[in-house]
Amino acid sequence: MRYRVTEDVRLDRLAKHLMGKTGDGAVEALLAANPGLAAQGPIVAEGTEVDVPEVPAPSNAGFVRAWD
């Protein structure tokens, strides 16, 4: 899917809006699908068109406790 940004927005908020989350590699997937997007910095400018990738599957890494 292609999306045109309607107002200046932070990259993580754009990922949340388009993909429903910012964790589990969502921001990284958005950057990978849009070469050159990272060069704009943390703010994606109004009018920028982005390709929206599939939402990454949740990580199954689990939790590690430092004291165990």
Tens digit of each residue's pLDDT (9 = 90 or more) over 11-34? 999 999 998 888 888 899 999 999
In a 10 Å sphere around its CB, with 0-12 CB exposed, 13-18 middle and 19+ buried, how is residue 27 labelled?
buried
Neighbours of 10 (CB within 10 A): 14
Whole-angstrom CA distances from 23 to 16, 20, 55, 68 are 9, 9, 10, 25
Residues whose CB is less than 8 angstroms from the CB of residue 24 and which lie 6 or more positions away in sequence, other chains included? 56, 57, 58, 59
Band of pLDDT at residue 44, cut at 50, 70 and 90: very high
* pTM, full prediction: 0.77
